C-alpha cells in the first residue's frame, strides 16, 4: 500500500504567535539587516562596480541564454544548500539573461544583489501542522510579496553606491 504523503500547513505557534507575528518580526529583522549593510557597504564599496561587490561577497554572477524560467524574469538569485539536512550553504549564484542591455543588466544585477543582502532566500522555520494534527517547527520556504519591492529599493542604493567616487 502506498505511503500517504504528509501535507503541512502553517499554524499558530504553541505560544500563540501567528504567521503574521512571524512576518512582522522577520520584516523588522530584514530592515535592521538592510541598514547594517547600507552602513557597511557605504564604507567598503563606494565606487566599486556591482560585479566587484558581488565578488567581494562570494556571489557568482552567471549569464545564461533565454530559458523557460526567464519568461517572467530577467534574473534570479539562488542560494544552494547542501549537507545532510540541507542546512549548509554551498553557494550563492545570480543568473542573468544574456539579452539584457548594459543598463538593464545593471538594474537586474542590483535587484538580485538586493535579494542576497536582505537574506530573502534563507531557510525559515514555522510552526506547522499536518493533516493528522501533528505540530512541528519545520523548515519553510516561501516568497513574501514585499520582497520584490525591498530588493528594488536596496538595488537602487547599490547602483547609487557604485556611481559614487571612492
Check pLDDT > 70 for residue 119. yes
Q: What percent of the chain has pLDDT over 90?
A: 31
Q: Are 114 and 151 in contact (CB under 8 A)?
A: yes
Exposed/middle/buried for 158, CB within 10 Å: 0-12, 13-18, 19+?
Answer: buried
Listed ranges 34-38, 87-91, 124-128; the one with the highest mean pLDDT: 34-38
For the entire predicted model, the pTM comes to 0.76
Pair type for strands 124-129 and 9-10: antiparallel
Smallest CA-to-CA distance from 49 within 161, 154, 139 is with 161
Compute the radius of gyration of the chain from its Cα atoms: 19
What average pLDDT does range 84-101 have in this prediction?
77
Domain boundaries, the chain: 12-160
At 16-69, the pLDDT tens digits run 777 778 778 878 888 898 999 999 999 999 999 999 999 999 999 998 876 555
Report the C-alpha gap between 13 and 127 in whole angstroms: 5
Q: In what order do the strands lie in the sheet with 88-97?
A: 59-64, 88-97, 75-82
Burial letters 129-154, b for 16+ CB under 10 A, else e = bbeeeeeeeeeeeeeeeebeebbeeb
C-alpha cell at position 162: 557604485
Give residue 135's pLDDT band: very low, low, confident or very high (50, 70, 90). Answer: confident
Better-scored residue on pLDDT, 3 or 149: 149
Element (H, E) at 105: helix 102-117
**Residue that wins the pLDDT comparison between 152 and 164:** 152
Amino acid at each position: 500500500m502506498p505511503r500517504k504523503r504528509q501535507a503541512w500547513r502553517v499554524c499558530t505557534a504553541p505560544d500563540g504567535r501567528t504567521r503574521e507575528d512571524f512576518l512582522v518580526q522577520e520584516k523588522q529583522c530584514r530592515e535592521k539587516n538592510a541598514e547594517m549593510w547600507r552602513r557597511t557597504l557605504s564604507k567598503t564599496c563606494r565606487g566599486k562596480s556591482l560585479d566587484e561587490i558581488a565578488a567581494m561577497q562570494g556571489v557568482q554572477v552567471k549569464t545564461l541564454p533565454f530559458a523557460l524560467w526567464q519568461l517572467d524574469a530577467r534574473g534570479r538569485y539562488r542560494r544552494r544548500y547542501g549537507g545532510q539536512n540541507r542546512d549548509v550553504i554551498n553557494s550563492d549564484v545570480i543568473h542573468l539573461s544574456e539579452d539584457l542591455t548594459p543598463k538593464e543588466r545593471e538594474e537586474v544585477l542590483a535587484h538580485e544583489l538586493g535579494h542576497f543582502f536582505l537574506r530573502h532566500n534563507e531557510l525559515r522555520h514555522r510552526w506547522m501542522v499536518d493533516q493528522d494534527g501533528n505540530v512541528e517547527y519545520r523548515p519553510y520556504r516561501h516568497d513574501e510579496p514585499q520582497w520584490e519591492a525591498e530588493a528594488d529599493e536596496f538595488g537602487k542604493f547599490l547602483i547609487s553606491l557604485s556611481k559614487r567616487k571612492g
